Structure formats: C-alpha cells, structure tokens
Chain A
Amino acid sequence: MIKFFLMVNKQGQTRLSRYYEHVEIHKRTMLEAEVIKNCLSRSKEQCSFIEYKDFKLVYRQYAALFIVVGINETENEMAVYELIHNFVEVLDRYFSRVEKWYVMLNDQEVNDNSHYHLTKTNTHLSFFFQSELDVSFPIMFNLDRVHIILDEMVLNGCIVETNKNRILAPLFVLDKMAES
C-alpha cells in the first residue's frame, strides 16, 4: 500500500503532497523535511529505496525535483519506482498537448530569466526533466491539475490506473468544457 506521494525540490520545498492515510498537518511538514533530507544524502550509485521508520521510501530524481513515494512492506519497490516514471510520462504528455501553458511560461518568464525561454521545438516537459531548471514551476502553476491526474492513478493507496489515455481522459474533458 502506498502511504504518501510527494514531490519535493532540492531546496526542500514541497511541490505536491498527497497522503493516503491521515497525517496531522504539522507532522506532515516534519515528515517531508526528513524524507527529503534522507533523499538528498544519497548518491547516484546508491539504491533508490530507503528504509524509513516502519516503511520504505522509493524515490526518483528528475533534475532538481525529487518524487518520493512512501510504501509499506506489501508493495513491490520496483513497481512503485516505475509508477513514478509513468506518472512523469503522463504529466509530460498532458502538458505537451496543452501548448498554451508554454505561452504562459514564455510571457511570464522570458523577462525575468532567459533560461526559461522555450522554443517551439522544446515544448515537451521532458525538456524540463532533463535540464537543470526547476521542473516544479510548471507543475506548481497547475497544482490542481496535477492532483487530478494523480487521483486517477492512485486511490486509497492502490495503483488503480496506469493506462495513459485513460488517466488523462477525464481531465481532457474538463479542459474542453472549460474552454467552450
């Protein structure tokens, strides 16, 4: 069973958190701080699974962003490790389909910081994941949508859907309706 799903950047700022068991708010921040400390202390050669309290952490790093999933002993670590990647691929597909999002990014960021300038060819989220940029900005701006995507994939700590088309279908419908 999955206990929580976290996205945390290298500075230790939480970018997304979803708990599948009730945890008090102040305990969450403490847990997240410890979790990211644990992840940051590890090298690339080390295992992607960490023992933490009475459960395990499975983490994956995308540029400056860590995605960390807390699981109990009934879960298969490797399957969760790949679930994280599947989630990232889904995000990638969603955000690359919705081009306006990049326009937004261009409009707002181009003046602040030239790093954020995106060319037409680079409208894949994978661009962020491979670069050293803070990938969590685009995710954060659409916090609600990322949650909606995650809710389609994981419910009650169970992996309920992994088919990318099916995960995104409800959100595409919502977007379409909102536009019209």
Chain B
Amino acid sequence: MSDVVERTLSALPGLLGQQDPGAGPGGGPGRVSATSRLGGLIRSITALSSKHEEEKLIQQEQTNLKATVSAPTTTLRLMKECMVRLIYCEMLGYESSFGYIHAIKLAQQGNLLEKRVGYLAVSLFLHENHELLLLLVNTVVKDLQSTNLVEVCMALTVVSQIFPREMIPAVLPLIEDKLQHSKEIIRRKAVQALYKFYLIAPNQVQHIHDKFRKALCDRDVGVMAASLHIYLQMIKKNASGYKDLTESFVSILKQVVGGKLPIDFNYHSVPAPWLQIQLLRILGLLGKDDPRTSELMYDVLDESLRRAEINHNITYAILFECVQTIYTICPKSDLLEKAAKCIGKFVLSPKINLKYLGLKALTYVIQQDPNLALQHQMTIIECLDHPDPIIKRETLELLYRITNGQNVTVIVQKMLDYLRQSKEEYTIINLTGKIAELVEKYAPDNEWFIQTMNAVFSVGGDVMHPDIPNNFLRLLAEGFDDEKEDEELRLYAVQSYLSLLEEEDTFYPQKFLQVMSWVLGEYSYLINDGDPEVIITRLHRLLKQTFVTSETKAWIMTAVTKMSSRMSCSKTIDKLIQEFSTSLDTCMRQYAFELKHLCENKELMKNLFPLDASCDEIMVDASLSFLDGFVAEGLSCGAAPYKPHHQRQEEKLSQEKALNFEPYGLSFTSNMSSSGFTGRQSPAGLSLGSDMSGNSAELGQKETNCLKLDGVRKLWGKEGYLPKKENKTGKEDKTQPVPQDSILTAHVVDPPLMQSEQQVVSLSEEEKEKQQLASTLFVGLGSNSTISLIFESLSCHFPVIEAQSMESCQKCVQLEKVCTEGVLSGSISYHLDTDTHLEFSLTFSLSDFIRPMKMTTEDFGRLWLSFSNDVKQNLKMSPSQGSLSVALNALKQKLKLHIVEIIGNEGIAACRLLPSVPCLLHCRTHARTLALWFRSSCSALPDSLLYQCQKVMEEA
C-alpha cells in the first residue's frame, strides 16, 4: 500500500465514528456499511507499525465505543456492530469490560443475528465464574422455551460454552426435554449442553444416564456422535461400568467404516474420520486389561486398518489411533503384526509429519514390544540427530522408555546433549526429571552417578523440580544396604564438589550450591587426608559472591557450622564470624552470632551436630512445653496471657465498635485452605508423599527433620524395572512345548541386528558410528528375553513356609485434587532366585480422605459464614431412613462426619479433607426429602462430598 493510502486509512476510524450510526442495511454478510467501520479499524491497525500507535488508536476506538454503547439512542443493530469491534479490541489484548453488560443486553433484546452476536460476545468476554454471567440465565431460560428453533439453538450453544454451575437446576429440565425434540440439531445441541454440565457438575446429571444411552442409539449420526464425548469421559473414569456398551460402539464403528453414513459426513472420501477416532479411543479404554471385551473388537479393528488405505493425512490419523487401540487392549498376534507394519511405514516415511506420528506410536508401544525398537534402530538413530528438534525430542522420549542398566549411560548422555541446547523451561523441567529418574534407577557406578547429577544440577539450574535435589540428598543420606559403598559414594561426592569449587568465579545455580554445601557440611569428615580449613575457605569465598542468594547463604552457613563442630579451632571461622557479625543482612548476622556462641561450647556443639545423623528422627515438642516455666514466670510477673491471633483481632474490632466487614475466623480458614493443595498434579489426582505415617491426624505432635522425598528407589529395587518379557515368553512356551535349547536359539536370532553386523565391513565411518551407537542403545532389549520360565499348571498347593525376612514400608497417599475416586497402582520387585514382580492396585474413594472435624456450634456458625463455595441438593429418603438422626448417623458412619448438633429436623455436621480442608454440612428433613447444603473453602469439595452422600443414601 502506498503511504498516502496508509495515512488515509489510519484516519478512518475517527472519521467513521462520526458517521450516521444507522446507515445501511446491516443484514447479510459483507454488506458494505455493516462492516466498514470494523473494516476501517482492522485496516488501520494492520497498517500501523508500532505498538504505541496501536495503543493510541485502540484507546480512541474504545472511547468512541464506550460513548456509543451507553448512549440510549443506540440501535440494536449498531450495538451488534459495536460488539464485533469490542471483540476485536479484546482479541488484540485490550480489555473492554465496559461492554460486557451490553453484550448480555444484546443477547436478551436483539433479533436473531444480533442475539447470536450478543451470545458470542458473552462467551468470548466472560469466564465461567464471572459474576455477570448470572444475568444471562434468564435470557437463556426464555430462549430455551422459545418457539423459534434458531433461538433454542443459540441458547443451547451458549449453555454448552459457558454457564454458571449453580444455575444448572434452572435449565436442566428444559434441556432434558429437548432430548426428545424432533429436530436433530436441537437434540444434538442438548446433548452437548449436558456434556458441559457433566464436566462442571457430574452429579447433577447423574439421573439422566439412561437418556445418554438413548442419545447413543439416536437415529441421527450427529446426536450419537455428540453423546460419545460424554461416554469417553465417563469411561475414562470408570471403564467397568460401561462394558455392556462395547457391542454398540463396535457396531457403530463397523457402520461408519463400512460407509453406511450419508455422504456429507465424508472428509476427502473418508467416512467421518473424527468420529472413527473418537470410537477407537473409547474401544481402547474398554478393552484395556479385559480379554473378553477385547475379543469383541478384533474384527472391527482389523477392518479399520484395512479400509484406511488411501494415502491421505486423515487416514494416517485414523491408523495412528487404531494402532494405539490395538496396543492398549489385550493383544492379538495378527493385529499386532499389522499394527507394527503400519508403524514401520510411518517411521520410514519421508513425510516429516508422518515420521513424527510413527515415532509417537513407537514410543507408545515400545514397552510391550521392544523388538520393534530393534527393527527400527537405525531410523531411531537417524532421528536422534534430526534437524527438527521435535523429532529429536520424541526420539529421546522413546529411548527413555527402553532404558535399562546396560544402555543408561548412552541414553542419558543423549538427553543431556539435548538439554544443553534447549532453553525452554518446560523442556528443562521435564528432561531433568527423567534423567534424574533414570540415574537413580540404573546408575552403573558412583563416579557416573555423581558426575551425571552434577550435569543435571548445572543445566537444570533453578527451574528443575525441587524433588530432584531433595531425592538426591536423601539417597546420599539414607544410602543403600551396604555401608561401605555408601561411604564411597559420599566421599566421591565430597571430592567432586571440592574440585568444582576450586575454581574461582565459576557460576553455579543456587540449587546446586545448596546441594554442595549440604553434602560438604554433612560428609566432609570422610576425607581423611584433607585439611578442613581448605573446605571452609572455599565456602567462605562463596559467601562473599554476589550471585549467591541469601537462601543459599543460609545453607552454606549451616555447612560451616556443622564443620566447625568437628574442628578444634579455625582461623577462617573466626574471620568469618567477625565479618558477618556486622553484616547488614540480619539473618547472616544471627547465624554468625549463633556460630560464635556455639564455638565457645564445643561439647554442646558436638551434641547438636552428631556425625552422620541426618536420618535420625528428632522429636519436636510442638506444644513448647519446655517453655512452661518461662511462661509461668512471665505470668507471675504480671504479663498478659497469650491470645491467639484471631482472638486478638476480634477483640480489637469489638473495641473499635465499628462494623465488621471481615468474615470471622478468617485467619483460621485461610490457613486451612492454603495447605495441602500444592505440588505436581498426578493424573489420577493422587500422589505419593512420604515420611508421614498413614494417618496424618496423629501427626500433629511428632515431626521428623528428615528431608521429604519420594521413595522411588525402594519401589523399584536396584535392578530397576524391566518390561514384562518373562510373561510373554512364558506364554509362548506353554503353547509350544519345545525343549529349552531351541527356544534359546529362536530368541537369540534377531534378524536385523545380525544382518547389520555382518555388513559393517563395507560401511562408511559415519555408518559405523551409528551402528556402534545402535548396539549400545539397544543392548538388553531383544536377547534378554531368552531367560524364560516354563510354568507348569498352577493348580497345585504350595506348602506354607515361614518368611525369612520381612520388609515393611509405609507410604502416605495425599489427595491433591478433589475427585470422587482414584486408583493407586504400583509394583514391588524383589529378588528371589529370579526377579519377581508383584503388581498391585488400590482404589481410593474420596471418603478415605475424609476425617471428622470436631467443633462447637459457634465455631460452625463462624466458619459457615466465611465459606463461599456451596452446593445444595434435595435427596429422597426411603421410609427406612425415617428420621434425620438415622440419616445423619448413616452419613456419620460411612463418611466419618462429626455431628455438631441436631435440633428438631435440622442438623449440622463437619468434616475435613486431609490434611485440613474443612467442609460443613447443614441438613434438614422435610416430607421424605433430605435437603443437604454443603459449604467449604475448597470449590470442588462440596460437589464431590454430595456425590458421596448420594451414594451412601442410595446404599442405605
């Protein structure tokens, strides 16, 4: 565009703002005047060259818009147009909250297209918890009852995009009615709306599960497809509840694959590909670990593979999903073979997107079928040096899955190489976590272990997950079974850090420095020939560095203190004390004084810092009873008795005689809600913590000073985890009873590997390198499977024998995210002639994490008012549940509630979600219904507890 034109355009919006607002017929798309104002804005924005100019222009635009939308003369048509411009402003990142209310008004008052734009603007502007959203409910209810189908459609669309959870009951019956509507589009959108409700409040739609089934069997494909979204979610949560639907899903997929759908569902002549993918996912979930259900789907999976033969991206997408499903369900050999072939085709493809898909599939199946990795080893090696980082990344992911004790060094080296080039925070967090895990599991020797962890700490810096240094330190501190080996490891660590600190002015991340100082403080005594003075000098030098944060300085000071307890006198320490006694940093000053006083009493100091005792438990007197004498003395001298913080606050407020706008007991509740919900989210919402006894209710008085770390190592055993190869060969052996020798040879022969080794002679140097890499990477994958066990029939009875030794270990399971149910699975490996592997899985429900919470009625009242998240529901009571006290007692027993008080037909109860998230319940009976009202500081808790209550009431 020429300069002149550009300048004219940038002046446009100003000019346009003054034009007659109602000009032109603003109907169909592209009517000149309807879009010209927006068009002008867009064009001038596009022509701008700096952010500053854009800001100025948008500000001007917003001022114009603000005036227009609030002017009473503004027509709805103009309002619609303003909304689109507001959408545009927000899209560019300029908040236009002054228009939100007008969007709601437009949805309420506009004619069809205006209404639609109003709804659109609402769904774009507001979020789920926005307070203005409540104003939309009436409009939605009205439109749902409209005789105009277009309006019904719009209302259903907006409901399935954004709707306040607490208002669901207001529209639910209307939407349920729509499930029987004669038009497919209405039924389809009603199902979509119910899907939204299922996502935000699952128990509110529980009673309509049979209607979902009806939707699944709907004569229209669209309605059926919409119901699949709900089913996918429900099956993900609880596959066993929907096994009976397997045949329906299979027959639907058969019809889709067989081309029975109307032709307009095709995409590039592939019938409803996204629907196929959805169905394949559902089948995978249903067939997992269930041979009988898996059997039902073998045919259709075979057909899907067969039909997807056209070379088009969309068929690749289907094939990928198919392969995943085949490897998820119980295996069938000929299907696996076809799937493997398919993966091979992907991996070898010159198309980069397809190669990526192949690698991803390979990564998914590799643990079940390590031979596949052997087949494609050369491709994998090539991908490892691929110029596209995402291919490299996916390859590393694959290698991570096939790591064992023999190839760990090479694989970890490759991961570190990648890590050093990456600057992306998430990649660093992810990869350092994986490396640390592999290193812990498979480290071949001390040197390598420490060196690799040094690399992880240097590269991972301060972004890596804090568990990594914590785990590492605990590993060092707790050691393994062999005391001598432990000492060697610690000694090596000390030596390695000393040499790292030797160089002046080298920068290390804070976390790394903290690890170093802890290890030096704890284990530097292991160096027999070294002079402790040297170590202290190096630590002292660090303390003076500017890049060292005050947190790290505290670690270093602690290390120095520990070391000084083992030395008679040291010039450096004296100097250090002198230096920091006048430090401006109060913490450092305090450390220096503490150290000074401790140094004067070496005996006390030795008691305080015993050698190698970091794992010993220290009893902490949480009630501070040793101060009782001090307190008594103070009281006798006339000091005022101690009052807790909230009490002081209350008194202060009541003295001021002012209105109190703060909810009572705020300090108490904020304490509660802040605890327990931090940390990584694990997929099941459960995570393993440790160092706490099973029941943390008793924990209050006793705390250990051990580092809080996860017990990965213990779970996996020294040999680490190897894929379940034995099982597989065991199975084969059963079907083909051949002598052991022949099995051995049969397994050892691994065609691609052998061939490639013979060809080595004629290969170039580069190729040779790759071959070598391959042999180091894929070692221990294929040929290992020769170790096979032949199982005879297992029906015999074993004699009862005494256990030789017993190991007991306790883990604490903590609920991070409120959910109704979660499965904890794990395995125990132990060595008994052969490596044995025991898998277990435990199902926890929310009620396992609920404990009674004792309180008085007054406390209850105070807490009740301070909680904002609440859920109400009426439940039907059966005649046997008669009175309130019977019902409450049932809840008390099953859910471990504490009943605070019952008065007539009303009762209150309290419980807490471990560790200390309170939830309060108020209930009232009235004519065979039990009205439950939950309140809590955690938003998801009332909903989930209500669900548990419903279950209890149903069971009773």
Contact = CB atoms under 8 A, between A and B. Distances in A.
Interface of A: 11, 13-14, 16-18, 22, 25-26, 28-29, 45-51, 53-54, 76-79, 81-83, 86, 95, 98, 100-105, 107-108, 112-113, 134, 137, 140-145, 147-148, 151-152, 155-156, 158-166, 169-170, 173-175, 177-179
A161 B189 CA distance: 11
Nearest to A86: B267
Given A28-B93, A160-B229, A144 B264 contact: no
B30 A178 contact: no
A156 B195 contact: yes
Nearest to A176: B28
Contacts of B84: 143-144
Nearest to B83: A144
Given A13-B45, A54-B426, A143-B84, A78 B353 contact: yes
A169 B1 CA distance: 37
Contacts of B32: 103-104, 107-108
A157 to B, nearest CB: 10
Given A148-B120, A162-B272, A137 B42 contact: yes
Nearest to A164: B264
B42 A179 contact: no
A112 B36 CA distance: 14
Interface string B183-195: 0010000001001
26 contacts: A22-B127, A25-B90, A45-B352, A47-B356, A47-B391, A49-B356, A51-B390, A53-B426, A77-B353, A81-B353, A82-B313, A98-B28, A104-B31, A104-B35, A137-B43, A140-B39, A144-B84, A147-B124, A160-B229, A162-B272, A170-B150, A170-B185, A173-B150, A177-B112, A177-B150, A178-B28
Most A CB atoms within 10 A — which of B28, B30, B32, B196? B30
B316 A78 contact: yes
A169 to B, nearest CB: 7
A27 to B, nearest CB: 9
- Most chain-B CB neighbours within 10 Å: which of A14, A145, A165? A145
Nearest to B426: A53
A11 B49 CA distance: 10
A82 B272 CA distance: 12
B320 A76 contact: yes
B79 to A, nearest CB: 13
Contact of B30 (A101, A134, A143, A156): A101
Contacts of A161: 222, 225
Interface stretch (B153-161, B327-335, B556-564): B153-161
User: Closest 7 A-B residue pairs measured CB to CB?
Assistant: A101-B30, A29-B93, A78-B317, A79-B317, A22-B127, A178-B27, A104-B30
A76 B226 contact: no
A137 B35 CA distance: 11
Nearest to B125: A25
A163 B45 CA distance: 35
B167 interface: no
Given A76-B321, A100-B30, A81 B87 contact: no
B48 to A, nearest CB: 9
A47 B92 CA distance: 28
Contact of B87 (A47, A51, A143, A170): A143
Contacts of A101: 29-30
A77 B357 contact: yes
A6 B356 CA distance: 23
Contact of A141 (B35, B91, B222): B35
B120 A144 contact: yes
Nearest to A105: B30
Nearest to B123: A151
B130 to A, nearest CB: 9
Contacts of A142: 29-30, 35
B314 A100 contact: no
A70 to B, nearest CB: 13
A140 B44 CA distance: 13
Contacts of A76: 277, 317, 320-321
Given A22-B128, A101-B30, A144-B120, A81 B320 contact: no
A95 B30 CA distance: 9
Given A155-B192, A165-B264, A100 B42 contact: no
Given A79-B274, A162-B274, A175 B29 contact: yes
Contacts of B273: 79, 82, 162
A74 B864 CA distance: 40
Contacts of A152: 157
B313 A78 contact: yes
A178 B113 contact: yes
A108 B39 contact: yes
B30 A103 contact: yes
B922 to A, nearest CB: 31
Interface in B377-432: 387-391, 393, 424-427
A104 B356 CA distance: 43
Interface string B440-465: 00000000000000000000000000
Contact of A151 (B35, B46, B120): B120
A158 B274 CA distance: 11
Contacts of B5: 112-113
Contacts of A98: 28-30
A159 to B, nearest CB: 5
Nearest to A42: B388
B195 to A, nearest CB: 7
B508 interface: no
B736 to A, nearest CB: 38
Contact of B226 (A17, A160, A164, A173): A160
B472 interface: no
Contact of A25 (B95, B275, B387): B95
B682 to A, nearest CB: 14
Given A53-B424, A144-B83, 14 more contacts: A14-B92, A25-B95, A46-B388, A78-B320, A82-B314, A82-B317, A104-B30, A112-B5, A134-B46, A140-B39, A148-B116, A156-B199, A164-B264, A174-B116
B31 A100 contact: yes
Nearest to A30: B93
Identify the interface centre among B39, B316, B360: most chain A CB within 10 Å of its CB.
Answer: B39
A156 B161 contact: yes
Contacts of B277: 76, 79
A154 B755 CA distance: 50
A140 B42 contact: yes
Contact of B229 (A17, A141, A158, A162): A158
Given A53-B426, A174-B112, A100 B222 contact: no
B265 interface: yes
B117 interface: yes
Nearest to A75: B277
B88 interface: yes
Contacts of A148: 116, 120
A159 B192 CA distance: 11
B634 to A, nearest CB: 50
B38 interface: yes
Given A28-B93, A100-B30, A141-B35, A112 B116 contact: no
Nearest to B233: A158
A7 to B, nearest CB: 10
A137 to B, nearest CB: 7
A170 B188 CA distance: 13
B38 A113 contact: no
B38 to A, nearest CB: 7
Interface string B171-207: 0000000000000010000001001100100000000
A145 B124 contact: no
Interface in B210-231: 222, 225-226, 229
Nearest to B157: A151
Interface in B569-611: none
A16 B264 CA distance: 27
A147 B120 contact: yes
A79 B315 CA distance: 9
Contact of B150 (A25, A81, A140, A174): A174
